Amino acid sequence: MATLVLTVVGDDRAGLVSALAEQVAAHRGNWEQSELAELAGAFAGIVLISVPDDRVDELTRAVQSLEGLLRVTAHTPPAAHADDDAYNLTFTVLGNDRPGIVRDVTTAVAAHALSIDGFRSRTLDAPMAGGTLFEATVQVRVPSAADADAITSALERLAGEIQVDLSLG
């Protein structure tokens, strides 16, 4: 079995996920994991599938020709480098929206050589304060050899510098 990661981007409309799932099933593929979302009228997502080795090329052509999708790309993921003692650290950032928050947070994460496994963000109206809030939930993979206290301190320092609340969970 081969593993493929499909990235999907298109104009949002009913039936896009169904059309993609139909092609995966028709080529004896197994839909294993996905993150899919509608954002401002566009549909975007990433899907992890497994498919028999002899069906990879056929499935790739089939999903790339789906009507209504702007782009579907199949990627073969590299072999994973396992660190069995690594753990996930999840934190939430919440503060007044302004340009540069994502850059600042991801720079702090990269400075500690951490890999981002998940990043979800959104803006929210703050009717009581009369502005817009930015919220992000970030999941990072922390290698077993990393200094967890130094990472936590760096994130807390950043929260103070960019004036956001930080919740570790």
In the structure, what pLDDT confidence band is assigned to residue 18 with cuts at 50, 70 and 90? very high
Taking the C-alpha atoms of residue 63 and residue 71, their distance in angstroms, rounded to an integer, is 9
What pLDDT score does 70 carry?
Answer: 52
Q: What superfamily does domain 87-168 belong to in CATH? A: ACT domain (3.30.70.260)
Query: What CATH architecture does domain 2-75 belong to?
Result: 2-Layer Sandwich (3.30)
Q: Specify the pLDDT at position 33.
A: 93
59: its two tokens: 């499935």
**Mean pLDDT rounded to a whole number for the chain:** 88
Q: How far, CA to CA in Å, does 62 sit from each of 68, 70, 92?
A: 13, 14, 39
What is the per-residue pLDDT across 102-133, written as a single tens digit (0 to 9) for each? 999 999 999 998 999 999 999 999 877 778 99
Query: pLDDT-derived band of residue 146, with 50, 70 and 90 as boundaries?
Result: confident
pLDDT in tens, 37-75: 998 989 999 999 999 999 999 998 898 888 766 566 767
The band of 10, judged by pLDDT with boundaries at 50, 70 and 90, is: confident
What is the rounded CA–CA span in Å between residue 139 and residue 46?
A: 17
pLDDT band of residue 167 (cuts 50, 70, 90) is: confident
Band (22; pLDDT cuts 50, 70, 90):
very high
pLDDT (0 to 100) of residue 71: 66
Question: Given its phi and psi angles, is residue 146 left (phi above 0), alpha (psi -120 to 50 degrees) or beta?
Answer: beta
- Where do the structural domains in the chain lie, given as residue ranges? 2-75, 87-168
What pLDDT digit, counting tens, does each position of 23-34 carry? 999 999 999 999
Give the residue-averaged pLDDT of 2-7.
Answer: 89
| Residue 82 β-bridge partners | none
pTM across the whole model: 0.76
Please indicate whether the domains covering 2-75 and 87-168 agree at the CATH topology level. Answer: yes
